[in-house]
Amino acid sequence: MKFSKTIISGLMLFAAVNAFAQKKTEKFEKLQIEMFPKAKEGFKQVYVQLPVAKNENDLKVEFFVGTEKMLDCNKHFLIGKINTQDLQGWGYNYYEVESKGETGGTLMACPDQKLAKKFVYIQPETVRYNSKLPLVFYVPKDMEVRYRVLRPDAMKKAVQR
């Protein structure tokens, strides 16, 4: 009886520790975007708020502005550009997207002529990671912003000849 109580207690303790370890809480700075301008007609304002991270100077954020389209086997890209704007009086940046949604791409022969839904985007940009400031974008209503955080690998030594 005493042995089974010990095993049950141990299993409960293990489950509690495991649940606590899996519960990852991300801390965010207080979001402030009121100072940014309102979106123009036909555009929407979207933002990315990054969580507080250790060694933020080592991190970068790569963002992609685009849309999903039915496309063939060719490599496609969205025609347009991302303009960095200065928020006057604040020293913050925001991004305005110029694009009519037109795509360009390679002209390979696609034997099966199948179309697949793909995310096609303007040339991505990379910026420094800063959890204190949101990344604010003004994009056409039919587009979206996706991003990824770039983390450095361990430093490696070059080969010497």
- Enter the pTM of the model: 0.76
Task: Write the DSSP assignment of 88-102 as a string of letters.
Answer: TTTTEEEEEEE--S-
> How many helices and strands, by DSSP H and E, does the chain display?
1, 10
Q: What is the dihedral of CA 134, 137, 141, 146, to 10 degrees?
A: -70
**Superfamily name with CATH number, domain 43-150:** Ecotin (2.60.40.550)
Note the pLDDT tens digit of each residue in 75-107. Answer: 999 999 999 999 998 989 999 999 999 999 999
Which pLDDT value is given to residue 19? Answer: 46
* Tokens 């141990």 -> residue: 10
Question: What is residue 107's DSSP assignment?
Answer: -
- The domain segmentation of the chain, as residue ranges, is 43-150
> Would you say 115 and 161 are in contact if contact means Cβ atoms under 8 Å apart?
no
Task: Among 20-24, 76-80, 147-151, name the one with the lowest average pLDDT.
Answer: 20-24
Question: What is residue 133's DSSP assignment?
Answer: S
How many angstroms separate the CA atoms of 87 and 108, rounded? 43
Which pLDDT value is given to residue 5? Answer: 57
